[in-house]
Amino acid sequence: MSIEVRLPDDSLRQLAEGATGADLAGGIGARLLDAALAIRVNGRMVDLNTPLVNGTKVEIVTSKAPESLELIRHSTAHLLAHAVKRLYPQARVGIGPVIEDGFFYDFWVDKPFTPEDLPFIEAEMRKIVAEGVEVVREDLGRDAAVARFQAAGEPLKVEIVSSIPQGEIVSGYRQGDFYDLCRGPHVPSTAKLKAFKLLSIAGAYWRGDEKNQMLSRIYGTAFHTQKELDEHLKRLEEAKTRDHRKLGKELGLYSFHPEAPASPFFHPKGTTVYNELVAYMRALYFKYGYSEVITPQILDVDLWKTSGHYENYADNMYFTTAEEREYAVKPMNCPGHCIMFGSQKHSYRELPIRYADFGRLHRFERSGVTHGLTRVRTFCQDDAHIYCTTEQIKTEMADFLALLKEVYDTFGFEGMRVALSTRPEKRLGSDEIWDAAEGALAEALDEAGMPYTLNPGEGAFYGPKIEFQILDALKRPWQLGTLQVDYMMPERFDLTYTRPDGGEGRPIMLHRAILGSLERFMGILVEHTAGAFPAWLAPVQVAILPITDRAHAFAGEAAARAKAQGFRVDLDLRNESLKAKIRDAQLAKVPYMLVIGDREAEAGNVSVRHRHRGDLGVQALDDFLATLAAEVRLRQR
RNA sequence: GCCCACAUAGCUCAGUGGUAGAGCACUUCCUUGGUAAGGAAGAGGUCACCGGUUCGAGACCGGUUGUGGGCUCCA
């Protein structure tokens, strides 16, 4: 008896009954067998050593297939666990999945691993690779699997397997003396794993629940070749050099101090960028029909009880008492806006009313969750609340999307992804209201033709939210914008407007932000631009570099003229060489350097150097200023 | 909050129990130069904080605070 399988080029191949993918690959060529990692049967990836079935379509998966990277990472995770079990037999294994850019494996150990352990574990992994241990799939009945893990002293695995319905087959893989629960597929031998590196250690809760025990997690990554691995490690280094915490210090933008944990101090240069961002948003608010408001920082706790924050958000709030009256520092602007809206009578003719607020917010974030500028305890959102009717939600949504796209385009963010977060467990309001709110957002997204993913249970306590995610220059995702629909606050604050028929209507409230928070946005922007802000945002737009003292007079005049036109100028009169001045301006990422020597001073010219484009030659000062003015006005990147 | 690591000059970092160091930055002097560091001198530290061990602690131990890598959480 023989079987026949179809290859991707539609050719048929005869094989003996019971032949595997490996036999198929070997029959085609020894080099293919060597490169083979798995096979794809009728589109589904399975182990290379899976027996072939007559009449199926079979494809040999080698390192050329994009999904093979996941395969070797998964197998490398098993390799890691195998090595750990050899070195630390008392370690009990958790789970070891593939993640973006690599994998991890969790271990339950008495003493957590330390970074010094990694080279030893890695060496043991290489030893297992050198041994070329065969990786074999071994399926077991559920009860047999439970018994096997119980005998092996693996309580975490027992817990997982026990949750699988009885009678089901549990797949697992054995490599030498190491057996692991796993769906597979895997590479046929540890010899196939050639380029991997263990990267870091971290604590992680079992099953991601902080009530469970803490496991010791080892992160690593794997690639097909050492060259690819090296390139990846180089990219990680590149990301490190762009770290906004490092660049912020180097460029003198902001700093952090123990006196105010997780709260940035914006230095003059950082404040310039910050204020330019606010000015930009203000200009757009004018264009899009928003009105800016200013509301108090500290408000009576009763307000927060009305808004529901006291009940649902108190853990994240700061409280203070004065004259025996209790207050809270605002973590959000919305309740203040509701007070303002409710303080006047409104006609349907006024709606939508759009209140924008750059108020400072304070949220108590648990120590350990803060991170540079991207997670702080005091920040300011490009926040606005739109009071409108149900019918107006769609046009408001469309206008908001237009505004959002305009902003992200200005900064060069691409690859926007959208997620809809629905009702969380801890929430206000009835299911009917949530149905309406979630429905409104979903419908608006559908109408805008925007594909989105669902984040069940991730909404805010007062309403569902749409979250907008972009990719930065290093293709890393960031959540920036948000749009939330809220039926709750208007209800709780009893907000009304007069309808055309003279009756009272209840407005809907939309919460929205585009940059998210100015703080986080600046951090992201620093990493996106590597600190080289576009000219319109740069803290110093022009550095004026006289070569000798003789040029100081004209350099001073040039600086004065540039300043008169509103440019941010740094006049470098230090007794340093031109080379040194250029170097310092380059390191400060100043967009334009104007070199002024005797020749330029005499003719009223400047020699223009751009931080990226280099020497741009000599031109009249006024011509340069006119060009720069256009670049800044258009907010060119 | 939890697990682990780290904390020395403004910055980046050396310093394995016996007198506190380097480079850069800063100040002064010399140098007046043409597109990424000219030269010299000087000044600068309660080694995060509190306690312990020791004849002696920047170093060893415990605690606190802050920061970092993660987990949980999140703009």
| HEC profile of A556-606 | HHHHHHHHHCCCCEEECCCCCCHHHHHHHHHHCCCCEEEEECHHHHHHCEE
Closest residue (CA to C1') to nucleotide B71 in the complex: A204
- pLDDT, residue A319, reads 94
Q: What are phi and psi of A243, to 5 degrees?
A: -50, 125
Q: What are phi and psi of A58, to 5 degrees?
A: -125, 135
Closest residue (CA to C1') to nucleotide B68 in the complex: A371
For residue A364, the cross-strand partners are none
No. of helices (H) and no. of strands (E), chain A: 20, 36
What tens digit of pLDDT does each residue of A461-488 get? 888 999 999 888 777 888 899 999 998 8
Residue that has been written with the tokens 């005091």 in this structure: A378
- pLDDT, residue A474, reads 77
Q: CA nearest A567: which of A589, A603, A538, A587?
A: A538
Q: CA nearest A253: which of A379, A373, A95?
A: A373
The question of whether A426 is a catalytic residue gets the answer: no
Nucleotide nearest to A421 (CA to C1'): B74
pLDDT under 50: residue ranges of chain A:
none
Q: Rounded to whole angstroms, how far apart are CA atoms A281 and A419?
A: 24
Q: Is A194 helix (H, G, I), strand (E, B) or coil?
A: coil
- Catalytically annotated residue among A40, A309, A334, A512: A334
A421 φ/ψ sector (left φ>0, alpha ψ -120 to 50, else beta): beta
Nucleotide nearest to A478 (CA to C1'): B75
- Catalytically annotated residue among A511, A520, A528, A589: A511
H or E segment and range at residue A454: strand A453-455
Cis peptide before A424 (omega within 30 of 0): no
Cβ-based neighbours of A365, under 8 Å, separated by 6 or more: A262, A316, A375, A376, A377
What predicted TM-score, i.e. pTM, was given to this entire model? 0.89
Contact A40, A58 (CB under 8 A): yes
The question of whether A552 is a catalytic residue gets the answer: no
Nucleotide nearest to A598 (CA to C1'): B34
Strand B nucleotides, any atom under 7 Å to a protein CB: 1-5, 11-12, 25-26, 29-38, 65-75
Angle between helices A268-287 and A393-411 (to 10 degrees): 140
Is residue A372 exposed (0-12), middle (13-18) or buried (19+ Cβ within 10 Å)? Answer: buried
Angle between helices A68-87 and A117-131 (to 10 degrees): 110
Cβ-based neighbours of A302, under 8 Å, separated by 6 or more: none
- pLDDT, residue A592, reads 98
CA A530, C1' B8: Å apart?
A: 30
CA A116, C1' B52: Å apart?
A: 28
What token pair was written down for A481? 């914008």
The residue length of chain A stands at 637
- pLDDT, residue A355, reads 98
Q: Rounded to whole angstroms, how far apart are CA atoms A432 and A136?
A: 53
- pLDDT, residue A448, reads 83
Q: Rounded to whole angstroms, how far apart are CA atoms A241 and A102?
A: 21
The question of whether A334 is a catalytic residue gets the answer: yes
Nucleotide nearest to A250 (CA to C1'): B11
Q: Rounded to whole angstroms, how far apart are CA atoms A520 and A205?
A: 27
Residue that has been written with the tokens 């299911």 in this structure: A431
Q: Rounded to whole angstroms, how far apart are CA atoms A57 and A63?
A: 19
What tens digit of pLDDT does each residue of A283-340 get? 999 999 999 999 999 999 999 999 999 998 999 999 999 999 999 999 999 999 999 9
- pLDDT, residue A100, reads 83
CA A250, C1' B11: Å apart?
A: 8
The question of whether A511 is a catalytic residue gets the answer: yes
Q: Is A33 helix (H, G, I), strand (E, B) or coil?
A: helix
What tens digit of pLDDT does each residue of A86-109 get? 999 889 999 999 988 889 999 998
- Catalytically annotated residue among A92, A269, A309, A363: A363
Nucleotide nearest to A480 (CA to C1'): B75
CA A22, C1' B19: Å apart?
A: 72
Instruction: Write out the E strands in A52-194.
Output: 58-61, 92-93, 98-99, 102-108, 135-137, 140-141, 169-170, 172-175, 178-181
The question of whether A465 is a catalytic residue gets the answer: yes
- pLDDT, residue A414, reads 85
H or E segment and range at residue A396: helix A393-411
Amino acid at A609: R
- Rounded to 5, what percent of chain A is helix, strand, coil? 40, 30, 35
Instruction: Write out the E strands in A234-368.
Output: 254-255, 265-266, 291-292, 298-300, 319-322, 325-329, 353-357, 360-362
CA A258, C1' B49: Å apart?
A: 12
- pLDDT, residue A186, reads 93
Closest residue (CA to C1') to nucleotide B36 in the complex: A583
